[in-house]
Amino acid sequence: MMEWQSLFEPRILERGLDYYQMGHVTNVIDEAGVLSAIVTGTQDYEVELDLSEEDNLGLFCECPYAADLNTCKHMAAVFFAWENGAAKEVSVFSKSELEKAIAAADEVTLRAFLLESLQQDQSLAQRFMGRIQKSGITSKTADPFFQVNQIVDRYTDYSDYINYDHAFGFAADLSAFLDTEVQSLIDEERYHEAFDLTNAVFQTIGEVEIDDSNGEIVFLGNECYEIWQRILSLVDPDTKNDMFIWFSRQLAELEHDFLLELIQQIIAEEFQELNFAEQKLRRVEEMLEEAAKQNDFIRDYSLASWGIIKAELLEQLGKPDEEIEAFYRSMWNHNEIRQRYIKRCIDQKNFYRAIEVLKESIILDKEYRGLVSEYSIQLKNLYLQLGEKEAYVEQLYHLIYEDDPGSLETFRELKQLYSTDEWRPIRDKIFNKLAGEVVLDDLYVEEQCYDLLMEEVEKSFMLYKTQSYLVILKDRYPERLLEKYKKEIRGMLHESSSRKKYRDIVYLLQDMKKIPDGKKVLADFVQELKTTYPRRPALLEELERV
């Protein structure tokens, strides 16, 4: 049987074992090496483990933690169930076999099975309801908010709040609803209805009270945006104008910042026709007036956002350069506006004006290191493009020492300017000047200065950096690495006394086996720990796993 435990962090493995032992794993099915199961926690999650190819496992779980490509406790629980023989092999039935079985079943059995299946699978339920609507059996969903509100009601608690545990299911059901209902309307060229249904979802997620710590609102908002793009690419000009009016109204009505940004973006990007430009400009000027009345932080953000859109519209409408320049200058204190102006200069090949503004921006935004670094990189690129080698090289040194210290990309760019013999003293000077100020690990690897890298590993906190560079260093400095592991683990045991910590330590001890002579050193070290801590039975028990 495969060594699947190494796929999980110790704490995740422990929670998975708890779930399995408490009987939370049900319906374990093995279909040609693909395991599927239901794991019950705060809600039911479907888990699928594709074990058909041991070197290319496919692991899936519906939980939010697994959505970020993590291996979760639910997956671990199913592995434990499989290892203990809980999986049942199932047959794959052909279409003809299913048709015969349906024909042989009575109506009561069919209805009961259909109801049970739809209750257990809301995605399937959405598809079923959509099929019923298309056939004209029900008219309840003439209101586009009807089905959306049904989904909301399913996940809200008594105070009309969707908590963290229910947020993922809420987003998944609304996404399935958009994929099935709206897409079918688009396929049937019922664009107005598809638009109304999408808008119902969009407005609902802007009003619902939800803990969307995992980005459910962002996910659904982007899905609505993509549907709008499809619809707008298909409709006639009059319909598109009606839709523009709806989007324009949302600018004044929406209070959710991210969703408001999506509306701004759809108006800016999807209504490029000249007949919309004047309408957009009037609306943007109204929004600039409103933004000027807001408090400081929101005011600056809103003014910059709308200011960029106005600048683009002025250019699109071919307004006189004097008017465009005057508008940029009126908002010069916003770095986003200056960045837009720099882009305009570069697009017009007015490179020396762009350089002037970049130098000015470095002074104006000196408190914002990230911005200064961006400006400095742009300056460097412009000097290179203009063939001003002396200014280009000077800017590279300014970047590596001041504006983007220790940048690997700048380091490599500098290196290309020198021969091998010329480069070595320059490199050493960079190392000496930056040592202690920034992390130079990537530069040491680039230059194969493994002795310097090993010194940084030895000085580093705990074993995080040691693990990061273990593959590079293990054959070069095995003794020093093993001593680093022993030193840090001794310190951890001095402060730790819980079984969870002991399991984490055992996980780290396993790394020592990867180092030359590590197995022998590890065996002696484990014996040392057993001798040092004879009264810690939990530790002694965990050490037996090494």
Q: Quick one: CA torsion of 64, 66, 71, 72, rounded to 10 degrees?
A: 30
Which of the listed residues 254, 271, 288 is the one where a domain comes to its end?
A: 271
- Conformational region of residue 466, where left means phi above 0, alpha means psi within -120 to 50, and beta covers everything else: alpha
Compute the distance between CA of residue 58 and CA of residue 32 in angstroms, rounded to an integer: 14
3 state SS of 253: helix
Both 244 and 180 in one domain: the answer is: yes
pLDDT at 65: 79
Compute the distance between CA of residue 181 and CA of residue 184 in angstroms, rounded to an integer: 5
Both 257 and 186 in one domain: the answer is: yes
Q: Is 124 part of a structural domain of the chain?
A: no
User: Which residues pair with residue 47 across a beta bridge?
Assistant: 37, 61
User: Which residues pair with residue 125 across a beta bridge?
Assistant: none
Both 148 and 240 in one domain: the answer is: yes
Element (H, E) at 192: helix 191-207
In degrees, rounded to 5, the angle at the alpha carbon of residue 544 between the alpha carbons of residues 524 and 55 is: 100
Q: Which residues contact 84 (CB under 8 A, 6 or more apart)?
A: 20
Contact 392, 383 (CB under 8 A): yes
Nearest to 516 by CA among 546, 463, 474: 474
Both 255 and 161 in one domain: the answer is: yes
Strands 209-210 and 88-89: unpaired
Number of DSSP helices (H) and strands (E) in the chain, helices first: 30, 7
Both 392 and 482 in one domain: the answer is: no
Q: Is 335 part of a structural domain of the chain?
A: no
Measuring CA to CA, how many Å separate 98 from each of 69, 92, 110, 115, 513? 36, 10, 12, 18, 54
With tokens 């200014």, the residue in question is 391
Structural domain of 479: 471-543
Compute the distance between CA of residue 150 and CA of residue 144 in angstroms, rounded to an integer: 11
pLDDT averaged over 10-residue windows placed end to end, the chain, 546 residues: 82 84 85 86 80 83 81 91 74 68 77 73 62 47 69 84 91 90 90 93 92 91 94 94 90 81 88 86 84 77 87 91 95 95 96 97 94 96 96 97 95 96 96 93 96 96 94 96 96 84 92 95 96 92 91
With tokens 């008219």, the residue in question is 139
Both 171 and 263 in one domain: the answer is: yes
Both 263 and 153 in one domain: the answer is: yes
Count of the separate structural domains present in the chain: 4
What is the pTM assigned to this prediction? 0.58
pLDDT at 139: 40
With tokens 């290892």, the residue in question is 83
Contact 546, 526 (CB under 8 A): yes
Q: Is 333 part of a structural domain of the chain?
A: no
Measuring CA to CA, how many Å separate 545 from each of 1, 6, 188, 191, 510? 18, 13, 61, 62, 10
Q: Is 459 part of a structural domain of the chain?
A: no
Both 356 and 259 in one domain: the answer is: no
Q: Is 308 part of a structural domain of the chain?
A: no
Q: Is 466 part of a structural domain of the chain?
A: no
Q: What amino acid is encoded at 403 in this protein?
A: D
Q: What amino acid is encoded at 339 in this protein?
A: Q
Which of the listed residues 70, 89, 108 is the one where a domain comes to its end?
A: 89
Tokens representing residue 103 in the block: 């024909």
Compute the distance between CA of residue 546 and CA of residue 198 in angstroms, rounded to an integer: 55
CA 518 distance to own-chain centroid: 37
Q: Is 423 part of a structural domain of the chain?
A: no
pLDDT at 487: 96
Both 161 and 83 in one domain: the answer is: no
Contact 418, 390 (CB under 8 A): no
Compute the distance between CA of residue 22 and CA of residue 101 in angstroms, rounded to an integer: 36
Which of the listed residues 251, 271, 291 is the one where a domain comes to its end?
A: 271
- At how many degrees (to 10) do helices 237-253 and 191-207 cross? 10
Both 228 and 347 in one domain: the answer is: no
3 state SS of 223: helix
Tokens representing residue 196 in the block: 């109304």
Q: Is 278 part of a structural domain of the chain?
A: no
Tokens representing residue 283 in the block: 């609306």
Contact 166, 216 (CB under 8 A): no
